[in-house]
């Protein structure tokens, strides 16, 4: 078995396991599939759109995973996949994740994030082979809270379209666990970053791309918004470890877990760190255009550390260095 950069409870858990991954062309999904391959799992992915620059294409993952073309809202398709491939573990990462897109087109976001979740859970309810389901929620599900950091006891009280979509999916997952005993657990994480994120309006890939092209990096907001930043391989660790623990500790069914390195930073601070690491003298351009976004959000990860024995393996600077290296190689290849 290849060396893994993530922490696991029981790597043998994944060997020859039939795993269904939604959102495989996204940032975290691509890294999840890459690591499941190293663990010798049998991976089935659901892909709606062909994304040429995705990590799965760059890694030629299509050579070792089963690809089903379709939409997360197609319940009949989901039931067929779970049954025909005898899926044991479901990792649900598919979502529309961009806040400005949700503000401009909330219906597509609600369809993907809310309807997609309940249709997948309903399909799981009809397939007895499914033993573990990990649902990716978000710190955005909490909405704006008077007291920070968020703990898992903080009420879900989102107001804006993307945040509401994550609150709804989170509560629906809890409902399926509590009403029908479905083996569901929920992750709530901060902002993911790492090589493979091609959503350039996000601050980390957008800043890196600007520096590599010699352009001033732009910050959509005032630069004062405070967020958690979670390196992608720590995110992978959280999803896989949680599935393993669900088999070991059935009592966590229906529960949510925060995952965070507990080092919140403002948008200006994270962008400036990138500039410093890249040796750039470029000045940030603050646009102040972002609206309907929560000012400050960051998480307390005590529960994940104590119940799951999880911990982040990559300090912020190490994660950023790895991310910069990935994009440097990406653009060299693109320009070659």
DSSP-assigned letters across all residues of 20-42? EEESTTSHHHHHHHHHHHHTT-E
> CA 325, 331, 335, 336 torsion: positive or negative?
positive
Catalytic residue check, 231: no
Q: What are phi and psi of 234, to 5 degrees?
A: -70, -35
| Cα separation, 52 vs 315, whole angstroms | 30
Identified catalytic residue from 150, 160, 162, 330 = 162
**CB contact at 8 A, 229 and 270:** yes
Helix (H) or strand (E) holding 135: strand 132-136
Q: Is 88 helix (H, G, I), strand (E, B) or coil?
A: coil
| Cα separation, 132 vs 240, whole angstroms | 10
Q: Which residues carry out catalysis? A: 162
């Amino acid at each position: 078995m290849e060396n893994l950069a993530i922490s696991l409870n029981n790597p043998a858990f994944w060997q020859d396991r039939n795993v269904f991954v939604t959102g495989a062309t996204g940032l975290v999904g691509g890294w999840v599939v890459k690591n499941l391959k190293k663990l010798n799992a049998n991976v089935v992915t659901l892909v709606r759109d062909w994304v040429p620059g995705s990590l799965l294409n760059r890694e030629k993952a299509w050579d070792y995973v089963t690809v089903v073309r379709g939409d997360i809202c197609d319940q009949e398709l989901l039931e067929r996949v779970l049954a025909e491939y005898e899926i044991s573990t479901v990792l649900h990462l598919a979502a529309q994740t961009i806040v400005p897109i949700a503000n401009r087109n909330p219906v597509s976001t609600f369809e993907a994030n809310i309807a997609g979740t309940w249709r997948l859970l309903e399909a799981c309810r009809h397939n007895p082979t499914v033993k573990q389901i990990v649902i990716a929620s978000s710190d955005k599900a909490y909405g704006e809270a008077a007291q920070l950091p968020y703990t898992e006891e903080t009420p879900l009280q989102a107001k804006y379209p993307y945040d509401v979509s994550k609150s709804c999916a989170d509560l629906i997952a809890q409902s399926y666990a509590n009403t029908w005993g479905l083996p569901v657990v929920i992750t709530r994480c901060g902002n993911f970053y790492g090589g493979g994120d091609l959503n350039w309006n996000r601050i980390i890939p957008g800043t890196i791309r600007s520096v590599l092209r010699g352009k001033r990096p732009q910050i959509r907001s005032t630069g004062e918004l405070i967020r958690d930043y979670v390196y992608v391989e720590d995110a992978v660790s959280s999803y896989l470890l949680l599935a393993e623990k669900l088999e070991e500790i059935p009592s966590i069914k229906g529960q949510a877990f925060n995952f965070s390195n507990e080092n919140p930073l403002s948008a200006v601070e994270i962008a400036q760190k990138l500039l410093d690491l890249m040796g750039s003298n470029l000045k940030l351009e603050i646009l102040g255009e972002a609206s309907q976004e929560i000012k400050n959000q960051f998480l307390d990860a005590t529960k994940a550390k104590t119940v799951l024995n999880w911990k982040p393996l990559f300090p912020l600077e190490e994660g950023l260095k790895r991310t910069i290296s990935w994009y440097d190689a990406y653009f060299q290849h693109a320009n070659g």
